């Protein structure tokens, strides 16, 4: 018998255990004094809303397995819709709007959705691009007026009597709605697209069991308790909260632009609701930490933990946040993972500052911490070729840099309709007497230290390959970042592998770009001296300066080294 699971049942369980506890808090304007007003919904109300959505969808005729794109702003409706869609066995398609218009259309065409649950502007674009989405029959407009594009409004989906219309009258009796479909553990619950920051966006297929495992892993590792209050700067974390019995306070911010968040608003939410946990990208905590440093303001004593993920967390962000805590037991934690496998490892700010940061500055890489229970990590030989079976690669000893591969209950098994990408990213493990399992290739390189901690040394695609060996981005860049006038740097290779020329491209701190040839020569000489003093970077003889390295819009941290390679080649007059 196939074991069944629907992740939406976690919300129903939360509503049964804590019906009157506030589940969602949402800003609702400001009063005359400029203070925030809020709307709140209990777990019982959230579960009822999700149930009404599911009933409305069934009455409309949707079928399990159909794919609906969800493009709704972070809100009570976003959380209710996600659980309502999953409850009836639909596959929720989530696309990061920060990936750019062309990437978004490419992802949508690849999905060929059965409908859009979206804000009015998205529905309008769907109509204008109608030939691309001929299969989209179930369209729901959320957060605004429905115009001439048909479908239903959110309120129409929830209209009283929708269930009654679905019932079949038999005299004075009625035949109730059929129950939600029974789903196996491997039924798809969602397709979440990668950001596309290091290659074309790919749809990652999430099964119900994978979401279920994520909830348990995060809850148990961080000791998250029912009744806590979370401020999630990443909308999906609100779904985890609902499954854990944790209150979600939706922040007043644009989640696609965390680098522009107003720290005053974040601090207001933290104080107004005695928030115990907050989750967001490093860009958010960079803004909050700098604000606290400049004003002397402290984070509320109720705040126990801050989680920061989505991009590397700079040490200066950790330092500022640690100083901003008023609760001496509070800390900032940086979980490591990817869309295809999350979480994998985590490290606390205290451990970074006291133990690993000094080693990172000398080129050891970035320590991403200890592995989550039930997650397995191996370091194997680096190769660009497919690895069909684990027997066709070699595991490396502790301390040796190689390719990071992972296995666990939250590790996804495939990309949507991308068999070649799936084959390139997955490794079969045929263990004797056991059912075949698989490992995911992270596309990252790193190593395990003697304590079992995982260290990140960069993306595999960014390795510089020379005749004398390989150079890894994160360790090499750290050496040059020690210079007080360097804001950040990027290692790239020009020429063809394995005979590349390593080049360090430096973005100076504001006001320190070398404007004269004399300043340029002095700055370059200082950097070369710094590099030659460390065996990791002694072979780097070429330094270029860039006023603003290309980085991702969302986090303002991930450097697009793919763009910098051609730029460096052009600057140096070398064919790449």
For domain 251-339, give its CATH number from 3.90.1170.10, 3.40.50.1370, 3.40.50.980, 3.40.50.300. 3.40.50.980
pLDDT recorded at residue 163: 42
Comparing CA positions, the residue from 454, 368, 449 lying closest to residue 405 is: 454
Domain boundaries in the chain? 9-192, 251-339, 356-364+377-462, 464-572
Q: What is the 3 state secondary structure string of 128-143?
A: HCHHHHCCCCCCEECC
Torsion sign, CA atoms 491, 203, 309, 405: negative
| 348 Cβ neighbours under 8 A, 6+ residues apart | 331, 332, 333, 369
Torsion sign, CA atoms 82, 83, 85, 91: positive
- CATH superfamily for domain 9-192: ANL, N-terminal domain (3.40.50.12780)
For residues 93 and 82, the answer to whether their CB atoms sit within 8 Å is no
User: How would you label 195-222 residue by residue, b for 16+ Cβ within 10 Å and e otherwise?
Assistant: bbbbeebbbbbbbbbbbbbbbbbbbebb
For domain 356-364+377-462, give the fold: Luciferase; domain 3 (2.30.38)
For residues 230 and 441, the answer to whether their CB atoms sit within 8 Å is no
Give the SS3 label for residue 405: strand
Comparing CA positions, the residue from 112, 151, 154, 141 lying closest to residue 129 is: 112
20, with CB counted inside 10 A (0-12, 13-18, 19+), is exposed
Count, in order, helices (H) and strands (E) of the chain: 18, 28
pLDDT recorded at residue 173: 36
Q: Do domains 9-192 and 251-339 have the same CATH topology?
A: yes
Q: Tens digit of pLDDT per residue, the chain (576 long)? A: 346 789 999 999 999 999 999 999 999 999 999 999 999 999 999 999 999 999 999 999 999 999 999 999 999 999 999 999 999 999 999 998 877 888 898 999 999 999 999 999 999 999 998 788 989 999 999 998 888 888 999 999 998 544 443 333 333 333 344 445 556 667 899 999 987 766 788 999 999 999 999 999 999 999 999 999 999 998 889 999 999 999 999 999 998 888 899 999 999 999 999 999 999 999 999 999 999 999 999 999 999 999 999 888 999 999 999 999 999 999 999 999 999 999 999 999 999 999 999 999 999 999 999 999 999 999 999 999 999 999 999 999 999 999 999 999 999 999 999 999 999 999 999 876 566 699 999 999 999 999 999 999 999 999 999 999 999 999 999 999 999 999 999 999 999 999 999 999 999 999 999 999 999 999 999 999 999 999 999 999 999 999 999 988 777 778 999 999 999 999 999 876
User: Strands 437-448, 454-459: parallel, antiparallel or unpaired by DSSP?
Assistant: antiparallel
Q: What is the rounded distance in angstroms from the CA atom of residue 152 to the CA atom of residue 181?
A: 23
For 464-572, give the CATH class: alpha beta
pLDDT recorded at residue 64: 94
* DSSP per position, 21-46: SEEEEEEEEE-TTSPEEEEEEEHHHH
Q: What is the rounded distance in angstroms from the CA atom of residue 168 to the CA atom of residue 81?
A: 26
pLDDT recorded at residue 162: 43
CA dist list (Å): 125 to 108, 188, 228, 449: 12, 27, 39, 51
Helices (DSSP H) in 426-500: which residue ranges? 473-481
């Amino acid at each position: 018998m196939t074991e069944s699971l629907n992740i939406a049942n976690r919300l129903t369980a939360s509503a049964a255990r804590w019906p009157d506890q506030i589940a969602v808090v949402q800003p609702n304007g400001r009063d005359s004094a400029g203070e925030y007003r809020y709307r709140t919904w209990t777990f019982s109300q959230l579960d009822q809303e999700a149930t009404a959505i599911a009933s409305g969808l069934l009455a409309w005729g949707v079928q399990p397995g159909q794919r609906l794109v969800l493009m709704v702003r972070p809100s009570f409706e976003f959380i209710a819709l996600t659980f309502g869609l999953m409850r009836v066995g639909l596959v929720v398609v989530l696309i990061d709007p920060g990936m750019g218009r062309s990437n978004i259309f490419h992802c949508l065409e690849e999905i060929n959705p059965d409908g859009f649950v979206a804000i009015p502007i998205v529905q309008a674009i769907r109509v204008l691009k109608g030939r691309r989405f001929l299969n989209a029959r179930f369209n729901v407009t959320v957060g605004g007026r429905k115009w001439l594009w048909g479908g239903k409004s959110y309120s129409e989906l929830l209209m009283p009597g929708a269930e009654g219309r679905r019932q079949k009258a038999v005299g004075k009796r009625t035949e109730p709605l059929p129950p939600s479909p029974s789903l196996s553990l491997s039924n798809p619950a969602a397709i979440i697209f990668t950001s596309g920051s290091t290659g074309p966006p790919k749809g990652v297929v999430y099964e119900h069991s994978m979401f279920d495992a994520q909830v348990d892993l995060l809850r148990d590792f961080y000791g998250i308790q029912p009744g806590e209050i979370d401020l999630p700067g990443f909308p999906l974390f609100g779904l985890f909260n609902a499954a854990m019995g944790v209150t979600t306070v939706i922040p007043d911010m644009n989640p696609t632009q965390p680098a522009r968040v107003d720290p005053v608003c974040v601090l207001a939410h933290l104080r107004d609701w005695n928030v115990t946990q907050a989750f967001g990208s490093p860009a958010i905590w960079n803004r909050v930490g700098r604000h606290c440093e400049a004003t002397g303001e402290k984070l509320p004593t109720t705040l126990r933990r801050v989680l920061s993920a989505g991009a590397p967390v700079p040490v200066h962000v950790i330092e500022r946040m640690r100083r901003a805590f008023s609760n001496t037991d509070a800390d900032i934690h940086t979980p490591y993972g990817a869309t295809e496998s999350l979480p994998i490892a985590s490290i606390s700010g205290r451990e970074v500052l006291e133990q690993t940061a000094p080693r990172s500055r000398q080129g050891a890489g970035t320590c991403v911490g200890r592995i989550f229970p039930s997650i397995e990590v191996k370091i194997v030989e680096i190769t660009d070729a497919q690895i069909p079976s684990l027997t066709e690669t070699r595991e490396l000893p502790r301390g040796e840099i190689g390719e990071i591969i992972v296995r666990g209950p939250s590790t996804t098994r495939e990309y949507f309709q991308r068999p070649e990408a799936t084959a390139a990213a997955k490794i079969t493990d045929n263990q004797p007497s056991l059912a075949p399992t698989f490992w995911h290739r992270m596309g990252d390189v790193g190593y395990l230290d003697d304590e079992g901690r995982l260290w990140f040394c960069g993306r595999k695609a960014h390795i510089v390959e020379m005749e004398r060996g390989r150079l890894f981005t994160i360790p090499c860049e750290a050496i040059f970042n020690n210079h007080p006038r360097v804001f950040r740097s990027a290692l790239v290779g020009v020429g063809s592998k394995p005979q590349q020329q390593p080049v360090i491209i430096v973005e100076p701190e504001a006001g320190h770009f070398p404007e004269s040839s004399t300043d340029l020569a002095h700055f370059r000489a200082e950097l070369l001296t710094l590099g030659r003093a460390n065996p990791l970077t002694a072979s780097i003889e070429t330094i270029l300066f860039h006023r603003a390295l290309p980085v991702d819009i969302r986090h303002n941290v991930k450097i697009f080294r793919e763009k910098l390679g051609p730029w460096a080649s052009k600057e140096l007059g070398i064919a790449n």
